[in-house]
Amino acid sequence: MLPLALLLLGALAALWVWGVPLLRQSKLHLPPRVPGFLHQFRPNLPNHLLRLAQAHGPLYRIHFGNQAKLVSLGGKDLSLGNYSPAWKDLKKLTRSALLFGMRNKMEPLVWQLTHQLCEVRGGSPARPPEESTLQDLYDCITELVPLWASPSISILDVFPFLRVRGPPRWGVGGWARRGARPSTWGLHETQAAGVVRDLMDYMLRELREKSGVWDVTEENLHMVLLDLVIGGTETTAATLTWVVLYLLHHPEIHRRLQEELDQELGPGRVSGSDPPASPLPYKDRERLPLLNATISEVLRLRPVVALGLPHRTLKDSSLGGFDIPGDTIVIPNLYGAHHDAAVWDQPFAFRPDRFLNPKSQQPLTFGCGARVCLGEIPARLEIFLILTQLLHRFTFSPVPPSAAAAAAALPSLVPDFGILVKAQPFRVHLLPREGGRRAAA
């Protein structure tokens, strides 16, 4: 009888866990629910969610395990931490560091590093001196991003009890700690010397000079560092890769961009000494409207993070005529919103000119609301400055698949969906320009 009693007790517990919320939800006008909970295991999740939106409407519910999640198609730690006074303080401190502490230092550094990258010596780009800490951190990031997309991590949403145990090296946190500790030690040593060289030094100084003002700990700063480094490395590189790839497919846009740059900056140069500063500061970026429009179009077509950061409703709310219960996870489908035919004309076509109209809708690549990406400004700055130099000094050309091939095949535009929306690996020739024209082969 004991096993039967335990079975009945388990059934009653399940009825309480599942039945009570369902009874409450039955009285609400909820968005339509998509049956099943295996959506997150699909290899092409953003496109799948877009098809669900076309079938069920711009708002619908999916279930991961015992937790309801609301996916929004439309839409007009720091990234995932709960909304609280401490979280607001951390966001304010990070924004202050990005806007006031490092912005003036970042622009000349990005320009100088890009200039060094563009220098051609013996047919190969100049390489910066190797630094083991930087390489270790980069290796850590390249391992982290695929790990987040793996089923071994996704399944934790369906079966949360699996999070309780497991060696640190098995989870994301273990990888992050391995890559971040050496950098954190170095930052502490720098701060002790009273020298503010970077963002973390700025934030540490703020904490120590304004003790009691910020509800933030040094452990919070440790996690912010991970958020910014991981969130700002692979993402920016992926966007730059997509720009190059789309320009290979659209040489007429490539040509127009170079004409715009030649008109504003003079003929493209093959090489030269390190410039003291960018001839076109980021604050004057409106002088290159087509380049800005091209960046916006790539951010629309290939938002690097297809699904925005999840939000959680703090109380019962309503959206689009539906009741949204409190403690619901809301996931904005940025990829779906950027390919919505009700908003965009020819949503799957590469048409940068659509953004030359000042009244055009703008992409939501960096999210929206309280959890909008704080790295938007530095990311846009990097993308703009790097593309300015690359396009001004080089012409992009596809690489033939073999020496015997008569013509080069264009690389695929089909994205590789994971945590990030990345291009499939491809090779490209950077042909130096001379006097505003492509150098003779």
Binding-site positions for heme read 373
| Strand, helix or coil for residue 414 | coil
The conformational region for residue 218 under phi > 0 = left, psi -120 to 50 = alpha, else beta, is alpha
Please state at what angle helix 218-249 crosses helix 289-301, rounded to 10 degrees.
100
Residue-wise over 230-241: b if at least 16 C-beta within 10 A, else e? bbbbbbbbbbbb
**Across the chain, which distance is largest between two alpha carbons, in Å?**
91
Q: Which of 278, 280, 284, 309 is nearest to 374 (CA)?
A: 309
Single-letter amino acid code for the residue at 395: T
In the annotated binding site, the residues are 373
Q: Which of 320, 299, 293 is nearest to 373 (CA)?
A: 299
Sign of CA dihedral 279, 285, 288, 292: positive
Q: How far apart (Å, rounded) are the C-alpha atoms in residues 317 and 332?
A: 16
Q: What are phi and psi of 324, to 5 degrees?
A: -120, 110
Q: Which of 179, 168, 111, 114 is nearest to 144 (CA)?
A: 179
Neighbours of 67 (CB within 10 A): 15
279 HSE (CA, 13 A, CB side): 16
DSSP secondary structure string, 7-61?
A: HHHHHHHHIIIIIHHHHHHTTS-PPPBPS-S-GGG-TTHHHHHHHHHHHH-SEEE
Single-letter amino acid code for the residue at 128: P
Write out the two tokens for 142. 């390249």
Angle at Cα 200 formed by Cα 236 and Cα 420, nearest 5°? 25
Q: How far apart (Å, rounded) are the C-alpha atoms in residues 72 and 57?
A: 9
98 touches 377 (CB < 8 A):
yes
Single-letter amino acid code for the residue at 74: G
Q: Which of 90, 99, 127, 96 is nearest to 381 (CA)?
A: 99
Write out the two tokens for 147. 């790990």
